Amino acid sequence: MTNLYPNHSFEILKKAPDSRARLGKIHTPHGVIETPNYIFCGTKGAIRCATPREVKEAGAQIILSNTYHMMLQPGADLVAEMGGLHKFIGWDGPMLTDSGGFQIFAMGEGTVADEIKGRRNEAKPKMLEKITEEGAIFRSYTDGTKQMLSPERAMDVQHKLGADLIMPLDECPPYHLDREYSAKSMEMSHRWELRSLEKFKELNNGTQGLYGIVQGGVYEDLRLQSAEFVSSHPFFGTAIGGSLGVTIDQIYDEVVSWCMHNVPEERPVHLLGIGMIRDIFAGVRYGIDTFDCVIPTRIARHGWALVKGEPRERINLRNAQFKNDPTPLDETQDCYYSQFSRGYLNHLIRANEALAMHILSLHNIATMTRLMREVREAIADNSLDALEMVWRGEVTKIKMAA
Amino acid sequence: MTNLYPNHSFEILKKAPDSRARLGKIHTPHGVIETPNYIFCGTKGAIRCATPREVKEAGAQIILSNTYHMMLQPGADLVAEMGGLHKFIGWDGPMLTDSGGFQIFAMGEGTVADEIKGRRNEAKPKMLEKITEEGAIFRSYTDGTKQMLSPERAMDVQHKLGADLIMPLDECPPYHLDREYSAKSMEMSHRWELRSLEKFKELNNGTQGLYGIVQGGVYEDLRLQSAEFVSSHPFFGTAIGGSLGVTIDQIYDEVVSWCMHNVPEERPVHLLGIGMIRDIFAGVRYGIDTFDCVIPTRIARHGWALVKGEPRERINLRNAQFKNDPTPLDETQDCYYSQFSRGYLNHLIRANEALAMHILSLHNIATMTRLMREVREAIADNSLDALEMVWRGEVTKIKMAA
């Protein structure tokens, strides 16, 4: 059988003795991603108020862009004409694009994803018109035109964008879905994934690695079945998608755990759209290799800083308590942006200065890349539990190796 | 007589043979400003969406903050408690603060200054209640409290902020003012400047250099008289303020020219609030050493890039013509931000991404610092006319020395 991914590989460097945690490297045409790692969201081809150089200096190895947004503005053809997404936005490292499905379905269902995806200022009317076997019919939020996103179009658009890692279109149903609808949705997603794979083979030029997405909602038998389905087809990596549950226990000890039973060890595993600090520790132990979430940059826009050792993970710089606080955001962090004082950030937020968003976005990215680096070191050292205690603020003064 | 400014000096390195243009250095406790130079506006203690490190890398040697904004939010006492403005905002180079008067009077008069100073989202009611011999009574836009800005308070606040170069309170009347009111206003400004000087002497700790401000509107005899007044008192530098006129000929060939007759050569001269590219060439020839203006960062927020050799000085990246333009903002400019393509900026602006503001602010700062550097080199080489032709796009392909 032909290798669909001649320029991609996943290397496992070490497995933890007491969990499924592992150290690895994903090789892509634009470089290596050390795993476990975090993928930062450059939704519309831009990380909020931060340039690629600044994001890279903050330690990021890979970013993603949303196919949905890029296909509507500026359009996949234009990006291709401009030399592809890497060149267009000025990021020369590894990139991922999603399929575009999440935004369409989340918009159609009117779920909290509007808030999660930071679309508070965009048109509010439901844009999803219909889901058929062929694909999803929706209206463009930029010009109102009727559009079809089919599995084939999602592949075509992502081919034009040219990211290193890409996703097939799947239906992304809302959380409160019964078993029957979940099963039907999963089955359609599987058919869509096969169509994606066929289209991928047709377009494949060796520059992209296609993931399969495990669906099945919060139902054990469906998750097992879906993971087995995805594993039986030649996807480069495995993504865990769909409704994962609500509590952290449900997400990891149930849904993720079920999936991992039937996921091939030799493929990298991506958990779609989740990534608080506590998620990293829980997910890594179940063998998750990469995470993505808008959280680090989204909360930055609302004045929050992620802080190592803070029991609630983050602090709100808008609070009056920080008004005259000369303490740096995190002086233990080797990052220029982390050295600004909490008092100055409080001032910038109150004065409505966009510089707050810039500083906090980069500080939060630096915090997450530091977390991932320390997680990798801890897997190497078998000290993940101790590291988690420190990040959760349960150990006050353990000095971690830099 | 005691030297009021033991840690400040102005050194003239060269005078042009055919104009009043000169090369110099202003020495301050936080470093040297090579002149002619440009002072970038960090209105509320922040350059729009850019950190001090990024602003410095873009070539800026000095920035300013607005006393008016800082005294209301976060307040001068808080800034002092946090170690002064340099430490608070993280800028260790030379800084200037204005007196706060311009904002109060511009707000009170409801002039275009609202637009110029980028206050479009702030409370619109006129905040100035009364101007008396004592000072200006106004309401805070942050909490509505009644405030008095007197010459003494302007000195006190600026002392607490701790900038290297500071300004006395002057009345800043609107443009359409007859000679009689202009004369009265000028005389009150002179009395306020003397009170400022007295207060300055009381507070002086050797860290600040106080400018005197030449007033007199568009009237030759008043400008001559005011310049003579300012020159006869021990100010460190001379600022040209008030209504300067409308056309570029009126501003330079009349108002600035009149002032310069009576301005002592050995003091640095600052032109308040003006700084398009064409202003630099006109002002420098009349002996202006420093300029400040919100223009480079304000137009960045509206999608404009300043470009060397562009006859209109700037291009609007929002225009459809740039949609698929792979040309960098300015590839001849040694600045990371100037290498982003015009097509990408067009996309960012259309997608309403704050990153556009960040990139364009720093590109525009880099363009102005490059302009000032090339102006200094041209004064050294006696080639200012040729340089101006290149910047105005009248010479298409003269390669300037880097």
Is A18 among the residues known to form the active site? no
**pLDDT on residue A401:** 46
Say whether pLDDT at A105 is over 50.
yes
For range A197-223, the mean pLDDT:
97
**pLDDT on residue A113:** 46
Task: Tell me the pLDDT tens digit for each residue of A227-272.
Answer: 999 999 999 999 999 989 989 999 999 999 999 999 999 999 999 9
From chain A residues 287-326, the ones with a CB under 8 A of any chain B CB are 323-324, 326
Is A92 among the residues known to form the active site? no
**pLDDT on residue A1:** 58
Q: How far is B142 from chain A (nearest CA, A)?
A: 9
Say whether pLDDT at A104 is over 90.
no
Say whether pLDDT at A376 is over 70.
yes
Q: Which of A170, A279, A292, A330 is catalytic?
A: A292
**pLDDT on residue A402:** 43
**pLDDT on residue B177:** 80
Say whether pLDDT at A115 is over 70.
no
pLDDT < 70 stretches in chain B = 1, 107-126, 396-402
Residue of A85, A355, A357 to mutate, testing the B interface (most B Cβ within 10 Å of its Cβ)? A355
Helix axes A220-231, A179-203, angle to 10 degrees: 10
Put simply, whether B88 touches A (Cβ < 8 Å) is yes
For range A357-365, the mean pLDDT:
98
Domains and CATH numbers, chain A: 13-300 (3.20.20.105)
Put simply, whether B45 touches A (Cβ < 8 Å) is yes
Q: Do A355 and B82 touch (CB under 8 A)?
A: no
Task: Tell me the pLDDT tens digit for each residue of B350-360.
Answer: 999 999 999 99
Tell me chain B's radius of gyration from C-alpha atoms.
20
**pLDDT on residue B121:** 43
Q: Which of A18, A98, A164, A325 is catalytic?
A: A98
**pLDDT on residue B1:** 58
3-class secondary-structure state, position A213: strand
For range A106-131, the mean pLDDT:
56
Task: Tell me the pLDDT tens digit for each residue of A223-238.
Answer: 999 999 999 999 999 9
Alpha helix (H) residue ranges in A272-354: 277-285, 295-301, 342-350
Q: How far is A44 from chain B (nearest CA, A)?
A: 7
**pLDDT on residue B108:** 64
**pLDDT on residue A109:** 54
**pLDDT on residue B107:** 67
Model-wide pTM > 0.90: yes
**pLDDT on residue B112:** 41
Tell me which chain A residues have a C-beta less than 8 angstroms from the C-beta of B46.
348, 351, 353, 355
pLDDT > 90 fraction of chain A, expressed in percent and rounded: 84
Task: Tell me the pLDDT tens digit for each residue of A11-39.
Answer: 999 999 999 999 999 999 999 999 999 99
The answer to whether B164 and B209 have CB atoms below 8 angstroms apart is yes
**pLDDT on residue B140:** 87
**pLDDT on residue B46:** 93
Put simply, whether B340 touches A (Cβ < 8 Å) is yes
Say whether pLDDT at A85 is over 90.
yes
Query: Binning pLDDT at 50, 70 and 90, where does residue A107 land?
Result: low
Residue of A142, A347, A349 to mutate, testing the B interface (most B Cβ within 10 Å of its Cβ)? A347
ipTM, interface predicted TM-score of the complex: 0.92
Give the mean pLDDT of chain A.
92
Q: Do B341 and A88 touch (CB under 8 A)?
A: yes
Put simply, whether A337 touches B (Cβ < 8 Å) is yes
